[in-house]
Structure 1
Amino acid sequence: MSLVDIPEPSRFRIGNLFQDNNFIVPQYQRNFAWEDNEIDDFWNDLVELADGRRNSHFFGQIVTFKNPDGNQELIDGQQRLTSSSILLAVMRDIASEAYKHNRDDMSPDSGDVLRDVQRDVRKFLRGEEDSQPSLMLQRGNQDKEGRDANAFFATLIHGGPDHAYTEPTKNMVAAYKYFQRHITSSINTSKTWAGRVDRLSQLFKAFVDNFYVVMISAPSQRDAFIIFETLNSRGKDLKASDIIKNHLMYLSGGEIEEANQKWNAVSHELKDDSDRITHFIRTYWAARQRLVVESHLYRSLSQELTNGAKGNEFLDDLEQLVDLYTMLEGAPLNKLQNFFQNEALAEQIDILSRLRVKLFYPIVLALAKRGFSRSDMVIVMQKVISIFIRHRTIMNDGTNSLETGFAVIAEDIWNGKLNSVSAINEAMTERLMKPDAQVKGAFLNLTKDGGLRGPKKWTLVYLLVQLYDEELEEKAFTDDDFQLVHVGETSVSPTMLNYIGNWTLLEKGLVSDYEKAVGDNLTRSRLLNRSFITVNHELANDVEQGWNDQKLAARQAAFASESLVIW
């Protein structure tokens, strides 16, 4: 990308910035994404000024270009200006409510101050009585109420919070309520209306008079893109997806509307969540090109995506694969079954989701891109599960080598180097499969904490369901009929309490009586015999005769041998 001469920056106070410009956020820009951390920093900076601990605050840079209509199209700075507009609206609304309901209890001077705040904010924000607002957000993509970002923003600014359905609009409402809560708390520290109004005036004047921005208004849209990318190439204040989007819009040239439509289709599927979009792109890039850390993602992409054709191909791939990615993220089993139309594959994905495993995503994307059938995917996914269980669950090795290894396999699938199920599985076995002797040795001392929910629970449930070799999947996962219980507590050594061999699954209706019967071998034996699970009937005999370390160790050893067959 070539550099351009950066135009002479203009320095504005916030009040003058809004008064002297009309800003428009193009549809291709990222959505409002500031959350509690950024809003909290914003508020703390304002309080420092209002309290006199500083004289001024530099609020950052804004990059724009003036379009033919005379409006400043925002390439960088939407987050600051949107948050500023919301803050001003909250100050106006608080002043309005205070004056409306309490003017008889305050002095004329206090009433004048409140009216001045309302008047000035209306002058800054505009947008009433058919006037053009000082800031207009993205238009086009509508929520289920038929509102785009700009319509929702206008309602929020001029009418207060409404129900939000998308991530950006939820962020807007959260910012409004944050400012409302903190300003109210700040002014209510005074017991008099004169003191409260004075505090509101301090906050208002500190913001509009002492917050500064530098605006760089480029001569063209292309130059604005280059300036933005030059200033933000390290991605310090942006998610990787945001600067990647800017790069793609720059590459698209005259096809920017088409490129933006493709991006928005992807963004919409991911609820306009910058983090999710970034994770999706990183997963896609790991499958197509190479695995990189998030902080290097933009740099890696920009080195490869150097023209409009490559950018368009990239967007086409994202559009093609985003629905699949959303399924991998944690869709419920019934949605997985509807999407894949293959029960076995849906169950595999569901299990990995319950175990919070994401390392395999690039492999699935690569398989889909290369057109492998669902039945082929089942065979590959069984190998993926086997490798994960051996590597991570049994041997407790770290995930870095596994993530890298899966990404390498995915790349070879994507580029056609691995073009059959047998070739894929052979490559995974050679590169990633832990040897039998190491796995069995690790299993002999394998412990798991269990638990009532989350991946700890589902990891142990999955191990036992597979080791029991019974038709338990639906009852254990879909219906969640069972609970994890120790076979014995007081009769085994404390160090062996959480050995796999000392765990079993028991119907939830039997668990309470089982747990109460600690030390009562006969009662526990009877409860195990009432279980649907055949293995529990075999355990019942051992428990009735007296469960101990030796029996536990023998069961663990049998599981260790069986694990080599299953995984």
Structure 2
Amino acid sequence: MKGEAKSFLKFLDGSDKRFIIPVYQRNYNWQIKHCKQLLDDLLTLIEQPLKPHFFGSVVSSNMENGNREDYLIIDGQQRLTTVSILLVAMVNLLEKKLVQVNDSKLKDKIKNRHLVDEYNTEFRKIRLKPINEDRQAFDALFEDEVDFIATSNVTANYYFFKNEIINKSIDLEHLYDAISRLEIIDIFLEKSDDPQLIFESLNSTGLALEEGDKIRNYILMSLPPVVQEQYYVKYWHRIEKKTEFDNYYYVSDFIKSYLTLKLGKTIVIRDIYFYFKDFAKGYQKEALLIDLLHYASLYEKLLKPTGRTNDLEPNIIRLNQLDLTVIHPFLLAILDHISKGKLTEKEAKDIFSIIESYIFRRLIVGLASNSLNKFFATLDKDISKRQNNNQSYAEICKFILLSKEQSLRFPTDEEFIEMLMTRNIYALSSGNKQYLFSRLENSNSREQINVIERLQNSEYSIEHIMPQNLNNEWKESLGQNFTEIHNKWLHTLPNLTLTAYNSKYSNHSFDVKLTIENGFKESNLRLNKFVSECYSWTEKELLARQHILEEEAKKLWPFPCSVYVSPKQEVSSYSLEDDFDFTGINLSSYEFLGEEKPFSNWKNLLGDVITSLIVLYPAKMQQLALEDGGYIAKTKLSNSYSLLGDYFIYANCNTSAKIQGLKSFFKQCDIPFEELTFNILTKSN
């Protein structure tokens, strides 16, 4: 195996070369967003003459039984195909004189050096040979547009490049120069190399770079070696150490939270690198590293709060026990405000307590956590923009929490207590049970017992006071309705407690559990105080303990009130992902891919979003429109379909059906539901 750094165009150069994509490779699947990223990189290169741009590696080998210059592409086919599509678009624009250049030979240079072999005696002169339908679509680009295959990504990306060149008046000579500065590692396999093993190792998840690694390389790579070393030691290494926990670096997770806070939007982990590159354009490298190190220091307090957060330590520890990382961007914002003197630790403690109550109440009531992604991504910005005349950050935070409805609501005392006392607590996840019993046992006392650790190492266990299997003594003590009482109360919180002596208690009668050595009478646990004072365990005692636990729960997980009064009608945001009934809701606007548009009509919104999808995913939408039925068609299927450009959409339906239609499109185009957000007018508190 031989590797050599070279220009990407140098790799393509040579009229007798053929590039064959093997059939085991995936189909060409670059979308408009990937092409946009490539074109943006090339436009940046145009502004930076002579600067190269690393474009990855291309792995190839000689085609068995092929000509000497037939190259089998083992890895890099997506980039190779995309640049070839861009070059075809440039050639066609020059052929049709849709753009002007000074170099009259540019068209022939591109076509004959990189795309076709004009001297080849075979019918097919095109040098790139994609697989199956991709080949048909790519070959059609060299013919008349009426033969183009509209349902192919190849065609869609061709039109993207062509239109962008025209609309942005991109100079093709400068663009060609920028393409010539794309550099690759050309890896050529010898006959003794096993292409399959190479392919597997290059594409194995084990060798894939973490997003944090890519970002480190992006920041440091373009700097002089001496500066690289300085910045790595002074900043990046410290960022890594501050985001290290249990011998694992959480750099990627940290940057995800950092970007979510800075951009005010949810980010999928696989897209972090691309978002970071766009975000970083507004920063000098050292200023960016300084900011990252600042927030990494705050993130360290979230990962390892002990000894680092003073009065906030117990709050952060408990929030970590609830294991909901979507709140990290907001918590980072709070810690940042403290560091800059905008919030006191006392105010922050109040906010952390309310967030803990909000999360736990929702967990007990059974509200899905996926609706919280967008909410916590924008919460700090939503609070800050209301802070005119020095209104309290904490009061505004509570106000916003209380203004949420349906899937984002703050469960009331009645709803929370009802579910806490009646649901099967024993069936909660281990982590949530450990959090619950630790909180109940320790309350707000300074004398904390490490309940969670003791549960994890089996020193403690969760005990059913009335056992899971009733013996005759228990049946007699419960009375003739023992079956009904047992079924109603067995796994509920009033019947559960902590003990270090579970095996001793077994199915013994309550009297034995009470008086046995190390029984409830001798327990030092606060949770067992009431139990130790009882002489029997019947529905009467269960109801009494329930009342005690209800009062304690309302104290530990309080329902907030806010003195803040909004000067205008509030707007709440819900994503397509949220379990929210939009029927009868007053729409204000919607946001898609970072752009907000005012819309009050759901039908018009549907048409506008689908128009965007047609632009972004033309091949996929064309394919969906040609299928039978569905929400989009090329011909009018019924009176419920309305004309939209060259398409018909199923729009004369209720709001719920429109939402389902959007979900269908997003699923087909592989777009995360959270990318689409609806801003609705809400009722005042």
TM-score (structure 1 length as normaliser)? 0.51
SS of 2:462's equivalent? strand
SS of 1:292's equivalent? coil
| TM-fit CA distance, 1:495 | 5.3
Distance in 2, Cα, partners of 1:478 & 1:243? 37
Unmatched 5+ stretches in structure 2 = 1-5, 14-58, 65-70, 78-189, 475-484, 558-685
Distance in 2, Cα, partners of 1:293 & 1:471? 40
Q: Does 1:406 align with 2:376?
A: yes
- The question of whether the paired residues in 2 share the 8 Å contact of 1:390 and 1:439 is answered with yes
Give the letter for the 1:436 counterpart: D
Decide which moves more: 479-488 or 398-407.
Answer: 479-488
Select which of 326, 330, 333 maps to 1:363.
Answer: 330
1:549/1:395 Cα in 2 relative to 1: closer, same or farther (>3 Å)? Answer: same
Give the letter for the 1:520 counterpart: S
Distance in 2, Cα, partners of 1:520 & 1:425? 47
- The equivalences for 1:73-472 within 5 A come to 206-207=192-193, 238-249=209-220, 257=228, 259-261=231-233, 262-270=235-243, 276-290=250-264, 291-309=266-284, 311-329=285-303, 331=304, 336-340=305-309, 342=310, 344-370=311-337, 371=339, 372-392=343-363, 394-412=364-382, 417=387, 420-431=393-404, 433-449=410-426, 454-465=430-441
Distance in 2, Cα, partners of 1:416 & 1:254? 46
1:93-116 superposed Cα distances (whole Å, 9 cap, x missing partner): xxxxxxxxxxxxxxxxxxxxxxxx
Select which of 497, 505, 508 maps to 1:504.
Answer: 497
| TM-fit CA distance, 1:298 | 3.0
Provide the residue aligned with 1:7 in structure 2: 9
| TM-fit CA distance, 1:350 | 1.8
| TM-fit CA distance, 1:319 | 0.7
SS of 2:422's equivalent? coil
| TM-fit CA distance, 1:423 | 3.2
Distance in 1, Cα, partners of 2:212 & 2:384? 22
Distance in 2, Cα, partners of 1:268 & 1:498? 43
- The question of whether the paired residues in 2 share the 8 Å contact of 1:251 and 1:307 is answered with no
Provide the residue aligned with 1:520 in structure 2: 509
Distance in 1, Cα, partners of 2:195 & 2:412? 69
1:404/1:563 Cα in 2 relative to 1: closer, same or farther (>3 Å)? Answer: farther
Q: Does 1:563 align with 2:553?
A: yes
Distance in 1, Cα, partners of 2:373 & 2:223? 32
SS of 1:9's equivalent? helix
1:115-145 superposed Cα distances (whole Å, 9 cap, x missing partner): xxxxxxxxxxxxxxxxxxxxxxxxxxxxxxx
Distance in 1, Cα, partners of 2:239 & 2:257? 14
TM-score (structure 2 length as normaliser)? 0.43
1:237-290 superposed Cα distances (whole Å, 9 cap, x missing partner): 553334434443478699962554533432344459997211111111222222
Distance in 2, Cα, partners of 1:519 & 1:283? 51
| TM-fit CA distance, 1:322 | 1.6
Give the letter for the 1:316 counterpart: I
| TM-fit CA distance, 1:399 | 0.9
| TM-fit CA distance, 1:387 | 0.8
Say how many residue pairs are matched.
349
Distance in 2, Cα, partners of 1:286 & 1:210? 39
Provide the residue aligned with 2:75 in structure 1: 60
Provide the residue aligned with 2:635 in structure 1: none
- The question of whether the paired residues in 2 share the 8 Å contact of 1:355 and 1:459 is answered with yes
- The question of whether the paired residues in 2 share the 8 Å contact of 1:240 and 1:278 is answered with yes
Q: Does 1:532 align with 2:532?
A: no
SS of 2:193's equivalent? helix
Give 1 or 2: higher helix fraction.
1
Distance in 2, Cα, partners of 1:442 & 1:424? 25
Provide the residue aligned with 2:626 in structure 1: none
Distance in 2, Cα, partners of 1:209 & 1:537? 70
1:428/1:375 Cα in 2 relative to 1: closer, same or farther (>3 Å)? Answer: same
Distance in 2, Cα, partners of 1:254 & 1:413? 43
1:447/1:312 Cα in 2 relative to 1: closer, same or farther (>3 Å)? Answer: farther
Give the letter for the 1:265 counterpart: R
Give 1 or 2: higher strand fraction.
2
Distance in 2, Cα, partners of 1:519 & 1:474? 27
Give the letter for the 1:487 counterpart: I
SS of 2:461's equivalent? strand
- The question of whether the paired residues in 1 share the 8 Å contact of 2:466 and 2:510 is answered with no
Distance in 1, Cα, partners of 2:439 & 2:491? 14
1:294-335 superposed Cα distances (whole Å, 9 cap, x missing partner): 2333333333332443x5443222211223323423x3xxxx
SS of 1:266's equivalent? helix
Distance in 2, Cα, partners of 1:274 & 1:283? 17
- The question of whether the paired residues in 2 share the 8 Å contact of 1:413 and 1:424 is answered with yes
Distance in 1, Cα, partners of 2:241 & 2:552? 46
Distance in 2, Cα, partners of 1:406 & 1:324? 17
1:519/1:59 Cα in 2 relative to 1: closer, same or farther (>3 Å)? Answer: same
- The question of whether the paired residues in 2 share the 8 Å contact of 1:287 and 1:414 is answered with no
1:64-108 superposed Cα distances (whole Å, 9 cap, x missing partner): xxxxxxxxxxxxxxxxxxxxxxxxxxxxxxxxxxxxxxxxxxxxx
1:473-499 superposed Cα distances (whole Å, 9 cap, x missing partner): 335357777432111112552453211
Structure 1 residue ranges, 4+ long, deviating more than 4 angstroms after superposition: 56-59, 208-213, 249-256, 258-261, 271-275, 412-419, 468-472, 477-482
1:394-427 superposed Cα distances (whole Å, 9 cap, x missing partner): 2121112233322222344678958633333443
Distance in 2, Cα, partners of 1:488 & 1:445? 15
- The question of whether the paired residues in 2 share the 8 Å contact of 1:267 and 1:277 is answered with yes
Distance in 2, Cα, partners of 1:251 & 1:415? 37
- The question of whether the paired residues in 2 share the 8 Å contact of 1:501 and 1:556 is answered with yes
Distance in 1, Cα, partners of 2:359 & 2:320? 13
Q: CA RMSD in A?
A: 4.6
Distance in 2, Cα, partners of 1:320 & 1:457? 35
Distance in 2, Cα, partners of 1:494 & 1:206? 70
